[in-house]
A and B are shown apart, each in its own frame.
Chain A
């Protein structure tokens, strides 16, 4: 079946530090990959996505590259801000799998940025 594994948190960084949140996946087909962000008291919202190998998704200074050879989609940002404090979810959708198993989220990584 499909699964997503991401690093456990909380991850605590100082403002302007470099951020990496690791995400690896297993999928029966050829999935699309997503990063969602959840701010306190809100629902998840899409941060970025990539649909095929070597694609780079980017938004708000965050980037992630679809690496098929390592089945990874690590999230990076060069200089984090206090406002980036949130929970980040890696996810995949695999249309070939169908059903609920085709849409899978990681457990989330809580990021805390200190001024």
Chain B
């Protein structure tokens, strides 16, 4: 099993540009989570999906952030337009059932200049 796969591993962009982060969950997992990690705020849950349906997006910081899960094997997190304060490590995680242990990807290190 390849685990949760995220791409890219690193993204450097300029303020105002659109950024798209990608995630492939583990096959058969029904829940998918997007987290953001910074030194100041720690690990923040942005949004999670159950069976491809967004269940709770209350953690999404503002309308510049959007997430989709068009099918069970792919999800994207988009930031448009990006700002320097969006710089963080973004993790995707999946779980076979909500409430069970999470399997995390290696993260995307985003730097917005």
Contact = CB atoms under 8 A, between A and B. Distances in A.
Interface in B89-113: 91, 93, 98-107
B102 A46 contact: yes
B36 to A, nearest CB: 12
A93 B93 CA distance: 15
Nearest to A34: B101
A33 B104 CA distance: 17
Q: What is the size category of the interface that chain B forms with chain A? A: 20 to 34
Given A46-B101, A100-B56, A100-B59, A108 B43 contact: yes
Nearest to A95: B99
Interface residues of A, number: 22
A85 to B, nearest CB: 17
B99 A44 contact: no
B61 interface: no
A46 B30 CA distance: 18
B45 A44 contact: no
A43 B56 contact: no
B56 A44 contact: no
B101 A43 contact: no
Contacts of B58: 99-100
Nearest to A91: B102
Interface of B: 4, 33, 42-43, 45, 48, 55-56, 58-59, 91, 93, 98-107
8 closest Cβ contacts across the A-B interface? A43-B104, A107-B42, A100-B56, A93-B99, A46-B101, A99-B56, A44-B104, A95-B99
Given A99-B55, A107-B42, 11 more contacts: A43-B93, A44-B43, A44-B102, A45-B104, A46-B102, A99-B58, A103-B33, A103-B48, A103-B98, A106-B42, A107-B43
